Structure formats: structure tokens, C-alpha cells
């Protein structure tokens, strides 16, 4: 079953959830701020995604800006980034949907159509 990390107050997350519901796709919804993925889970998701780890950061979030991560990420190791992401769900770009080898980060309808439909 798909795991769907989301934040209920996030408009993009709500759009993604509606898309999944409209297409009859079952998932386990996980509130990303209350139960963020562990460092190990994030590493597995990241490795399956084929995306750079920096794409998992919520660059428009307040926490990202408060910590000045724009300038710090380039000097951080993969482990440091994963540790930081797992420490606070609000640092993670959302929603994250994953099942088996398939992963999407964020919501773009055409991408959801090609991967999840």
C-alpha cells in the first residue's frame, strides 16, 4: 500500500490527496509534522526516488529560511541532511507518496497520472 506523507493545512497536499481519492488509489495517510519519516525511511525513499536529496527540502518553509539552509546545504553530508530532515517534518517538501520502488515528491498532476494512475 502507498504511504502518503502530507500536512493537512497544505493546499498542495490537499490537491494530491483529492487526486488519489478521485482515482480510487488507496494509501496510508501520515501527518508529516506529527510523524515525520525516520532517517532510515527517508534514506530509502530518497534512494528510490532518483532525485537529489536537496529536492526533499521544503525551500519555501519558514523553518528552512530560519535555519539559513539555502547556504548551508551545499556543505552538508548526506547523513547530516537526512538527520536534519528527519528531525522536523516541516523541513520536508510535501506531499511524499511512495510504494515499492515508486516515489513522488510534491504534487504535479501529470506526474501523478504517469506514476500512480
DSSP string spanning 53-97?
Answer: GGGGB-TTSHHHHHTTHHHHGGGS-HHHHHHHHHH-GGGB-S-EE
Predicted pLDDT of residue 106: 97
Domain ranges of the chain: 2-116
pLDDT in tens, the chain (117 residues): 999 999 999 999 999 999 999 999 999 999 999 999 999 999 999 999 999 999 999 999 999 999 999 999 999 999 999 999 999 999 999 999 999 999 999 999 999 999 999
Please state which CATH class domain 2-116 belongs to: alpha beta
Give phi and psi for 27, each to the nearest 5: -155, 160
Predicted pLDDT of residue 27: 98
Closest C-alpha to 85, from 25, 19, 35, 37 = 37
CB of 86 closer than 8 Å to CB of 98: no
Amino acid at each position: 500500500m502507498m504511504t502518503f506523507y502530507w500536512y493537512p493545512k497544505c493546499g498542495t497536499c490537499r490537491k494530491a490527496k483529492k487526486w488519489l481519492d478521485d482515482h480510487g488509489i488507496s494509501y496510508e495517510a501520515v501527518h508529516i509534522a506529527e510523524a515525520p519519516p525516520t532517517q532510515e525511511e527517508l534514506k530509502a525513499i530518497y534512494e528510490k526516488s532518483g532525485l537529489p536529496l536537496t529536492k526533499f527540502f521544503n525551500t519555501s518553509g519558514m523553518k528552512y529560511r530560519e535555519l539559513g539552509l539555502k547556504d548551508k546545504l551545499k556543505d552538508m553530508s548526506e547523513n547530516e541532511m537526512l538527520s536534519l530532515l528527519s528531525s522536523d517534518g516541516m523541513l520536508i517538501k510535501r506531499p511524499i507518496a511512495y510504494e515499492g520502488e515508486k516515489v513522488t515528491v510534491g504534487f504535479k498532476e501529470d506526474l501523478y497520472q504517469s506514476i500512480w494512475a
